[in-house]
Structure formats: structure tokens, C-alpha cells
Amino acid sequence: MYGGRKWVKKVQQEWGILEKNLPDYIYVRVFEDRMDLMRAVIIGASGTPYQDGLFFFDFYLPPEFPQAPPSAYYHSGGLRVNPNLYVDGKVCLSLLNTWTGRGNEVWDPSSSSILQVLVSLQGLVLNEKPYFNEAGYEKQVGTVEGEKNALPYNENTYLLSVKSMLYILRRPPMNFEDFVRSHFCKRGHYILKACEAYLQGAVVGTLNDDACPTDTNKEYSCSMGFKLALGKILPRLITALKDIGADCSQYEHLGKTETAQES
């Protein structure tokens, strides 16, 4: 199962790197009795359509590691929240040799690390405008057309992210049950505050840590279709957050949004 003493030493070295250098919003659990496995969670960063979501990844370190990169599995819950993260759990990333890349973008046995993989997932995959992660769409970065297309894409991504929250609340990954509960208890207020900001027209992916809008550009407001879809999800989200002890009192009225829109 393992790759010998050299392999064990390398894995322990990786553990040390993670222990000392993991950035905020990334947490990792390792298993002393299964050194070839680790589970990580990335908290969606503010200023992205993934804000406050929890994104879980399992990693397997093969006997050939580090000559071969780790393999990764994403807990999708049946939701395609990003072009690089497939419903079947596949993770497309150059560092994992599951996507094209060159130079330091691909796995280098002498210098690449699991920390580097995690930081790439946080910064390059769960980013501000995942529209540009679609194959070939990176050519539109900085163009009027690209920026215009990225806005509704972010709206759909946020809806998927909220549905992902519901999935994780319902089925928290093993060994992270307390973490999931604690996170959503602490951030539930801000998640609902973000939903309210979007219902009031704030552009998806432009909120700070406190879920306050940072983009004062009034040229674009969230689409009515997005607001209606979010309104339909909110009653379930509020119920799920209340069930784990989050304080939702200030945003109870959001649960009535759907009813108001339908009447």
C-alpha cells in the first residue's frame, strides 16, 4: 500500500509543510493509520461566487509519490460548481496532471507539493470569475464580451454553491461533522446577509468578508431570473441553518420571499 521508508519520509515532510504554511480558509486532516490518504476543505473566499461555501477534496498519495502527483476526488454532491470540478469527482488541474499545462503549472517531483495543489484549487479554480475557466474562454479575459458573459455565469455558480451548502449540511464528510456545523453556525448570518444583498441587486461575487457590497457600479444588477431562483432555495437554506443552531432571526423574512413572489 505504501511506497517504503522514502515514501513515508516524504509524506511526513508534506504534513510538516501543510502544518506550517496552510493559508486561512484551507483545512486538512491526515490519517496516521492511512498515510496515503488526506481530506481537505476549502472555504469559498469573499469576492467570489463561492463565498462561505465548503468544498471538500480527498487526496490519495500513490506508492510512486512524489514521482507521480496525488490523485484528487471532489465531493460534488451531484453539482457542477466549476468547469474544473466534475460531478463524478474528477478534478482538472495542471498540477495533478489532469489538465494541460507547462513549466511550473504541471507536477514537478522535485518542487511541487500538496500545499501548492490546495492553493491552486483555492486561487485558480474557486475564483472570482469561473466563466473564464471554461475551455477556450480564457481568450475572453478583459474583453467586453467576456466580462458581460461572466456576470450571469457567476449568478448560476452562486446558486449551485448555495445548493452545495445544503448538500454539505445534510451530508457532512466523515471527520468534518463538527467543522461543518461550526462553520455554518458562525457564517450562517453572513450567508443570509449575502443572499439579501443579491436579492437587492448587488453583483454576485462583489461582497467582502462581512457580506457587504464592494462594487458601487450600478450599471448591472442581478437578473430577475437569478433572484427568483435564489428566492426558491432560501426557505430550505434558512431551515437547514436554523437546524444546526445558526442565528437566522435577522433574515427570517427572506424565507417568505418565494411566497411573496408567487402571490
Delineate the domains of the chain, giving CATH numbers in brackets.
Answer: 5-130 (3.10.110.10), 154-262 (no CATH)
The confidence band for 221, taking pLDDT boundaries of 50, 70 and 90, is confident
pTM: 0.93
What type of residue is 73? Y
Q: What is the pLDDT of residue 3?
A: 73
CB 225 within 8 Å of CB 249: no
- Count other C-beta atoms under 10 Å from residue 178's C-beta: 9
| Cα dihedral sign, 78-254-210-250 | negative
Percent of the chain with pLDDT over 90: 82
Residues known to be catalytic: 92
- Count other C-beta atoms under 10 Å from residue 96's C-beta: 21
In whole angstroms, what is the distance from residue 213 CA to residue 205 CA?
Answer: 9
At 45, list the grid cell.
473566499
Q: Name which of 105, 87, 103 is nearest 95 in CA terms.
A: 105
Q: Reading across the β-sheet that carries 54-60, which strands appear in turn?
A: 26-30, 37-43, 54-60, 71-74
CB 113 within 8 Å of CB 17: yes
The confidence band for 218, taking pLDDT boundaries of 50, 70 and 90, is low
Q: What is the CA radius of gyration of the chain?
A: 20
What are 146-171's pLDDT values in tens digits?
999 999 999 999 999 999 999 999 99
User: CA-CA distances (angstroms) from residue 88 to 39, 100, 176?
Assistant: 17, 20, 21
In whole angstroms, what is the distance from residue 182 CA to residue 245 CA?
Answer: 9
The confidence band for 260, taking pLDDT boundaries of 50, 70 and 90, is very low
CB 117 within 8 Å of CB 72: yes
What are 175-212's pLDDT values in tens digits?
999 999 999 999 999 999 999 999 998 999 999 999 99
User: CA-CA distances (angstroms) from residue 40 to 13, 95, 208?
Assistant: 17, 16, 24
In whole angstroms, what is the distance from residue 187 CA to residue 193 CA?
Answer: 10
What are 71-128's pLDDT values in tens digits?
999 999 999 999 999 999 999 999 999 887 776 789 999 999 999 999 999 999 999 9
